[in-house]
């Protein structure tokens, strides 16, 4: 895979964040007397940003009178507890280290809010990720599958699209790569399985982070 720039999704691709996301969802739900969800249910809700996650978790979504305060409770709890169980997937650190040794450029683009994206990348991947960009609609950068975060990462890295590949675990990531005009590598250790990814257009799939290092 002759790429010099790797643009990664975060949740389900570099980090296993599901446990902490589910815990914060259910803390917010219980705080506001709303029904809680299993981890597997939350797994299928993630991928389009935390607001969409809570729209899916809360009965009637954004139309629920308790939505804003429940969403605020989730955000506050998650920022305080995002490191409780979250960890890099096996082989991720070693793969990033080898990519950097080879002189590759690396970025993270996520639908997680920007502060959490930058905080998690700094905590787990200091010196291994050159650019980290999260959801920041106020800055005019629209969330995935819009290509804005990818284009911004490419701009900040000072590279061209022809040098880059996108690595992610979901249908949103496949659509983002297509919208950005760059190839997509779909990973099988994340939040979606092989059948789901293929059904949503995945063409290149890998089962281990170290496969990114193969020529």
Show which residues are catalytic: 9
Cα of 161 vs its chain's centroid, Å: 20
Element (H, E) at 150: helix 148-157
DSSP 8-state class, residue 48: S
Degrees, nearest 5: CA angle 103-155-96: 30
Rounded-to-integer distance, Cα 99 and Cα 81, Å: 30
- With CA atoms as reference, report the closest residue to 112 among 4, 11, 7: 11
Q: Any bridge partners for residue 136, and if so which?
A: 141
């Amino acid at each position: 895979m002759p790429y010099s720039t790797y643009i990664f999704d975060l949740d389900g691709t570099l980090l296993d964040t599901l446990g902490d996301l589910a815990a914060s969802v259910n803390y917010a739900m219980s705080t506001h007397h709303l029904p809680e969800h299993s981890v597997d249910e939350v797994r299928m809700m993630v991928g389009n940003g935390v607001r969409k996650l809570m729209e899916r978790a809360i009965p009637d979504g954004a139309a629920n009178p308790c939505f804003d305060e429940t969403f605020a409770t989730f955000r506050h709890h998650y920022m305080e507890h995002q490191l409780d169980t979250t960890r890099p997937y096996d082989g991720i650190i070693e793969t990033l280290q080898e990519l950097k040794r080879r002189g590759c450029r690396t970025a993270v683009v996520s639908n997680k809010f920007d502060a959490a994206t930058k905080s998690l990348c700094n905590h787990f991947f200091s010196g291994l990720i050159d650019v980290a960009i999260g959801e920041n609609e106020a800055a005019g950068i629209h969330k995935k599958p819009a290509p804005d975060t990818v284009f911004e990462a490419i701009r900040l890295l000072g590279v061209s699209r022809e040098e880059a590949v996108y690595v992610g675990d979901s249908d949103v990531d496949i659509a983002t790569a297509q919208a950005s005009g760059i190839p997509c590598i779909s990973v099988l250790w994340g939040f979606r399985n092989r059948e789901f990814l293929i059904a949503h257009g995945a063409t290149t799939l890998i089962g281990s982070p170290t496969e990114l290092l193969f020529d």
